[in-house]
Amino acid sequence: MSKAAAEAKQPVNAYGWAARDSSGVLSPFNFSRRHEIVGQVTSIGHNVTKFRVGDIAGVGCIIGSCGPCDNCKQDLENYCPKMLWTFNGHHEDGTRAFGGYSDNMVVEERYAILIPNGFALAGTAPLLCAGITAYSPLKYFGLSKLDRHLGVAEFGGVGHMAVKFAKAFGAKVTVISSSPSKKKEAVERLGADSFLVSHNQEQLEVIIKY
């Protein structure tokens, strides 16, 4: 598929958080990984069928690959020798991809996800990295069953998502964190069933016995 045929251009409203720079502070200027992106489709290529102009698209960390190689055919596009990163990848014409802080970006249709109308963009963007990072193993390892009791170790971006998905699946969730201050958010806001402080030996021993 030619680049023109596959392209869907987006967005003005782009959200690209998913990494921290060396200062530990999220910054649009100092780090290069921006791959949790949602935005509005502003134009589409001739063969695009999944999107219309005006739709909301989500993009993760890959925006292109060759298509016909064995890896691509087996849904292992991340091993494709021509895989194109959302950030710092180079399109065929040499144009560099700047990820989620671009005003506009070009992505193959295959790597764009149609976001339903009415989703809050800022709240949807984290699904494209932290979200899928938590969701994929929950499904792959069969942990999305109602009778499971999951432990979520550490409560950052991916941990938040793990709690939200696991609760949505109906599982019981215990958050294990080194920061006692996160208990309120884990339990009261996201509905975790219990919270353990990872350096509290007594608490951990209880759970080990259990």
Query: Is residue 86 within the footprint of Zn ion (CB under 5 A)?
Result: no
| Least distance between Zn ion and beta carbon 65 (Å) | 5
**In sequence order, which residues have a C-beta less than 8 Å from that of residue 91 and are 6 or more positions away?**
3, 64, 84, 97, 106
**In sequence order, which residues have a C-beta less than 8 Å from that of residue 184 and are 6 or more positions away?**
none
From the list 37, 112, 129, 196, which residue makes contact with Zn ion (rule: CB under 5 A)?
Answer: 129
Pairing of the two strands 7-10 and 43-44: antiparallel
Residues 5-64 that bind Zn ion (CB under 5 A): 18
From the list 80, 115, 190, 196, which residue makes contact with Zn ion (rule: CB under 5 A)?
Answer: 80
From the list 66, 114, 197, 204, which residue makes contact with Zn ion (rule: CB under 5 A)?
Answer: 66
Which residues, listed in sequence order, are joined to residue 44 by a DSSP beta bridge? 8
| Residue closer to Zn ion, measured from CB, 110 or 148 | 110
CA angle, 206 as apex, 203 and 208 as ends, to 5°?
110
* # of chain residues touching Zn ion (CB under 5 A): 7
Radius of gyration of the chain (CA): 20
| Least distance between Zn ion and beta carbon 15 (Å) | 12
| Residue closer to Zn ion, measured from CB, 66 or 114 | 66
From the list 10, 14, 45, 65, which residue makes contact with Zn ion (rule: CB under 5 A)?
Answer: 65
Neighbours of 122 (CB within 10 A): 11
**In sequence order, which residues have a C-beta less than 8 Å from that of residue 11 and are 6 or more positions away?**
37, 38, 39, 40, 41, 42, 57, 104, 105
| Residue closer to Zn ion, measured from CB, 1 or 143 | 1
The residues of the shown chain that bind Zn ion, judged by CB under 5 A, are: 18, 65-66, 69, 72, 80, 129
